[in-house]
Structure 1
Amino acid sequence: MGSLKALVKKAKKGDGEAFVLLVRQYEDVLYRTASRLLNNDEDVADAMQDTIISAYEKLHTLKNDEYFNTWICKILINRCNSLLKKNKGAAVFHDHLLPAEKNDGYGKLELEDALNSLNDVYRLALILYYIVGLNVKEISEFLKEPEGTIKSRLSRAKSILRTTYYKTEGVMVHER
């Protein structure tokens, strides 16, 4: 399939097949990210379509080919934020994207509740770190925030989840 940098270089020169290969490498991450941020499948599809079209049209603006993943995720998150503002919706975590726990719906609902209880900045940090797969430095550059702030947000989010929810026999249970 070729290295990421080689595919980006080919795509920048107008190779549509190279661009398709690039998008295919990241479409699962893009889909999971959009699904975590948006309310319904139609909005997810719209955001992904807009992201891919925008990325194709603006690929020449990508300065460092190694950061294609970060760059396309930033476009996607901006699209998702635009849709959320337009729809005045709140982020919802969809069941089909949460880790399966013995195929019971209870664990998924509890995890969904736990994640939705987080402040937006904490939830976004977790999504970028665990779903998109960015490291702290990349998140810092992406959000234009100091690395210490990102580390703090990740730590605080995990702490909130640990103190508000505790794990019993493989199921997240909310403390009431």
Structure 2
Amino acid sequence: MAKLTTLVKRAKKGDSEAFIALIQQYEDVLYKVASRLLTKDEDVADAMQDAILAAYEKLESLQNDAYFNTWICKILINKCHRILNRNKAVFDVVEIENLQDGVHDSTLKMELEDELNVLNNDYKTAIVLYYIVGMNTKEISEFLKEPEGTIKSRLSRAKSILRSNHHKSEDVIGYV
């Protein structure tokens, strides 16, 4: 944590190498988030590029250096939503890693993708932030500026929808 805040402080002072080191630390997480929100590789690349550029330009606005990860993920999600709105695309969550480990049959994986695509954007966003980004409900609450109870409810309802739509494969949904 100390290394992170040190890098953020250095980057805020104009040290571009420190900013690059920060981005390299979170590059995989950013890619995973963008690739689950967007369907096209070009859109994923655009969203990541736009988010990194915006983060670089607005780094001074980050109030708590320890929340760099949350802050840049929020920028990325906003960029992804703009791309989705622009393309009028469907919010596409491919697979949740926690579920992927438990799914060995490609048919089940495809069915799971279909079920996830039935969820509305609020539920999918909560699922992505919780299972892929690894945020807890309090962090998601602060991130989305929604009450924590709302986030817990969305996660619960999303899991319930997945269970009811995919009841024949309870061994897969049991991981959620």
Given the two structures, how large is their TM-score scaled by the length of structure 1? 0.88
Is the aligned partner of 1:66 residue 2:63?
no
In the alignment, what sits opposite 2:93?
93
8 Å contact 2:96–2:131 — kept in the other structure? no
Alignment map for 1:50-61 (pairs within 5 Å): 50-61=50-61
Match of 2:58, SS state, is helix
Q: Greater share of strand residues, 1 or 2?
A: 1
In the alignment, what sits opposite 2:150?
149
Shift of 1:95: 6.5
CA distance in 2, matches of 1:150, 1:35: 22
Per-residue deviation, residues 145-169 of structure 1 (Å, max 9, x unmatched): 1111111111111111112213548
In the alignment, what sits opposite 2:159?
158
CA distance in 1, matches of 2:47, 2:90: 15
8 Å contact 2:93–2:124 — kept in the other structure? no
Shift of 1:94: 3.5
In the alignment, what sits opposite 2:118?
117
Amino acid of the residue matched to residue 161 of structure 2?
A: I
In structure 1, list runs of 5 or more residues that go unmatched: none
In the alignment, what sits opposite 2:49?
49
In the alignment, what sits opposite 2:7?
7
Given the two structures, how large is their TM-score scaled by the length of structure 2? 0.88
CA distance in 2, matches of 1:136, 1:51: 23
Amino acid of the residue matched to residue 118 of structure 2?
A: S
Task: Kindly tell me the number of residue pairs found equivalent between the two proteins.
Answer: 171
CA distance in 2, matches of 1:151, 1:169: 21
RMSD: 2.1
In structure 2, list runs of 5 or more residues that go unmatched: none
Amino acid of the residue matched to residue 52 of structure 1?
A: I
* Deviation larger for 51-60 or 92-101: 92-101
8 Å contact 1:93–1:115 — kept in the other structure? yes
Match of 1:7, SS state, is helix
